[in-house]
Structure 1
Amino acid sequence: MDVSELLKSASLLVPEETATENDITVRDVWDYLVNDEWEVALGLLEELADAPSPPLAFWEKLAAAAEQLRLERSAAWCHWRCSEIRNGVFRAYLTLRPAAEARRTTPISGTGVLRPMWDIGHLSPTGERAVSIASLWVENTPVLEPGGRATVRLVPLTPSHWTHVQPGRRITMHEDRTVAGTAVVLEVHPPAAAQPAG
């Protein structure tokens, strides 16, 4: 499929009554598609997807379109949203330890590249701390500096390890044995297959 067909197909997966905070609708997206303004249409579809969460196919089509347009960050975001649907997502407010107090002295990438370990309360059979891995996407910024704070999105590698984690829970991030940061869980969205039927 070419970019135009991918975007048209994706737009059909968004309910017509869906609107962004700025009252942009699917009809507006079609106006841009008719005029071959694909980057604008792609950006608007990404915004429209924040209302009711569209199906996996929507994000797969947007990812393919973004790749054809060579929009790396947009493609990464769309692939990220696919992984959220498959594995679930935890939004949390993360505070990294300052460089003087932690092993990390460089900023972390905000685009889902980092897969740190998280202490979410599990213990090993010997009673020691057991950690679980979750990829990390920093919202609204390309990097997070040591000592910085931001809202992040966590996609667990093994979703079944995270079923007990609820909003308000404090969890710690590790890149080695030391604590790299602390986070408070804000929202929990289980994998699409695990969500109760509406």
Structure 2
Amino acid sequence: MDVPELLEAAGLLVPEESATENDITVADVWEYLTHDEWELALGLLEELADARPLPLGFWEDLATAAEQLRLEKSAAWCHWRSYEACHGIIRADLTLRPAAEARRRTPISGAGVLRPMWNIGNRTPTGDDPALDIARLWVERTPFLEPGGRATVRLAPLDPQRWRHLGPGQVITMHEDRSVAGSAVVLEVRRPAAPAA
């Protein structure tokens, strides 16, 4: 499918009553599509998806359209949301340790590149030590997070089953080596609507 077909297919998956905080609806998407404003239509569809969870096919269509339009950041975001559609959403309020107190001296990329380890309460098989679990990190609304900075993040676990016990309010710690690189308070844990295939 080409870009307009992909965007139309994705638009058909958005319920008509969905609206963003700015009252953008699917009708606005159709308006941009009729004028071949594909990049704007894609952006509106991404915004509409925050109003309610949408199926995997929606995100796959948007990712393919973004790739065809050569919108790398948008494509990465849509692939991230595809993962969340399959495995659920984990959001947390992360505070990194200051550069003077931690190994990291440079900002972390916000676009899902970093794969730190996390102490989420799991134990090693002997039960003596914490087991660290890996999850990619996406920082919301900013391209970088400076040492000592604070932001809302989304986590994509390497093994989602090991994270099923988390709930809002729990404190987890981020590690890039044995030392603590940051701490986070879990804000939201949303299971996928249907089990991942």
TM-score, reference length from structure 1: 0.96
Residue type of the alignment partner of 1:2: D
Q: Distance in 1 between matches of 2:86 and 2:181?
A: 27
Structure 2 unmatched ranges of 5 or more: none
Alpha-carbon offset, residue 31 of structure 1: 0.5
CA distance in 2, matches of 1:154, 1:133: 9
CA deviations over 1:36-69 (Å, ceiling 9, x no partner)? 0001000000000011111000000000000111
**What are the within-5 Å matches in structure 2 for residues 27-176 of structure 1?**
27-126=27-126, 127-176=128-177
Q: Which runs of 4+ in 1 moved over 6 A?
A: none
Note if contact 1:87-1:158 (Cα within 8 Å) is conserved in structure 2: no
Q: Name structure 1 gaps, 5 residues minimum.
A: none
The number of residue pairs the alignment matches comes to 195
Percent same amino acid at aligned positions?
72
User: Which amino acid is 1:128 matched to?
Assistant: D
TM superposition score normalised by structure 2: 0.96
One-letter code of the match for 1:129? P
Amino acid at match of 1:39: E
Q: What residue identity is the alignment partner of 1:136?
A: L
The one-letter amino acid paired with 2:184 is A
SS of residue matched to 2:147? coil
Q: Name the amino acid aligned to 1:94.
A: L
CA distance in 2, matches of 1:5, 1:194: 28
Matched residue of 2:64: which SS? helix
Kept after mapping to 2: 8 A contact 1:88/1:156: no
Q: Is the Cα contact below 8 Å between 1:89 and 1:156 reproduced in 2? A: no
